[in-house]
Amino acid sequence: MPTCPALMISAPASGQGKTSVTAALARAARRQGRRVRVFKTGPDYLDPMVLERASGHPVYQLDLFMAGLEACRQLLAQAAADADLILVEGVMGLFDGQPSSADLAAAFGLPVLAVLDASGMAQTFAALATGLQRFRADIEVCGVVANRVGSEAHGRMLTQGLPENLPLVAALPRQDALSLPERHLGLIQALEMPNLERQLETWADAWDQVTAASGQSALQFARPVSFTLSSDEAANTATYAAQPLKGRRIAVAQDACFSFIYPANLDTLKALGAELRCFSPLAGEALPECDALWLPGGYPELHARALTGHPGFFASLRSHLQMDKPLLAECGGMLCLLDQLTDIEGTTHAMASLMPGHARMQARLAALGLQSLAWPEGKLRGHSFHYSSLDTPLQAASRAHNPNGGRTAEALYLQGSLRASYVHHYFASNPEVVAAFFNRDRSTASHHCPPP
């Protein structure tokens, strides 16, 4: 029964500074010689890139909808067997969504450290913090971090009204050096931040300085948690053991344009027996010899000129589809296949013209939400988050279901051996379905989807 000290870092809302605090904690603990593993609650690609650099290890998702309780338990147990400390960054606000970060904390008994943006408030800080602590009896909010504090006097005001069992662990100053650059999808990708290593050290220095002054340590609240595995994943285990993709070569586009890749997805393909061949279209690398291809999401609108500067990439995609080889295109990967893509400045770029349609970037968020999408082979879970709108004459083969009842219900498009959607799929939610698609054969492929 693996046991390891664990702590969740959450907040009352997005934008409070969860990622910077989690990264600071991870880097500070790592500098002390601890073996740290960090997880991210819910669907996210950008925060984990930063947290991976802070901790020195890949960051996996803990999502009770996409992965399920037992898969989350297995990930935690694997980390506990190899680490001295587990940190879990929450998603959005502590109680937002179904399932929420609070649901995850309750499921595994994780104590919660709350991060609040203290700018523009004083004694109200304590009211918000105690509200988080008392809202649900099945979780423990054990301490609070004040972010973007204006001065020492401001920090002292923030402690007024805090109960003894909810200490102010740290008061982090408001400094540009402690902020991360952002763009429309959130944080800038870690690989686009040449000074990230220096920034992580700055965060850890600031964290050590303020906690030394306060005499508090967030790690004193990290509670040893045991993660007992069950046998409820027998079906998936049997699928992996059979290795239905053994001998299959799957090419994966992976660079600054195609970067929205869950580590669990790569693990799933490998566990199914596939040989992965990653390549960079932006660098002009040729499509490797392969039996199937995955174009993940990312930022084609930022790299459209670079992509069109390597015409061999689009030509190789055309040849791949003409040979009836499976191609999965998700979100940004799908946009690359269209006739045209108009970026946020209004410039229209000719794309691969392998899927009819025109996408336009917009300033406002177009879609957001967890998704359950019916493929011809069965259902897969994932999420949607994009700022583009799509016009295409293709009819949706199926539409996703949002478990939270939101408006986002993404389409699945089928065209020959091409499968495309705005959904970012979580392969481990149904590895049998993933294996069936990447083993697709024209004579047995079906274009009919089960109901969502």
Residues marked active site are found at: 331
Cα separation, 315 vs 319, in Å, equals 6
Residue type at position 27: R
Give yes or no for a contact between 129 and 144, defined as CB atoms under 8 angstroms apart. Answer: yes
Element (H, E) at 50: helix 46-55
Listing from the earlier edge strand, what are the strands of the sheet with 388-391? 348-350, 340-342, 358-361, 388-391
Contacts of 318 (CB under 8 A, 6+ apart): 352, 354
Spell out where 217-291 has E strands.
223-226, 249-253, 258-260, 275-279
Q: Which residue from 132, 136, 139 is spatially nearest to 115, judged by alpha carbons?
A: 132
Distance, first Cα to last Cα, the chain: 37
Give yes or no for a contact between 332 and 289, defined as CB atoms under 8 angstroms apart. Answer: no
Tell me how far CA of residue 408 lies from CA of 32, 183, 185, 422, in angstroms.
44, 22, 17, 10
CB atoms within 10 A of CB 198: 11
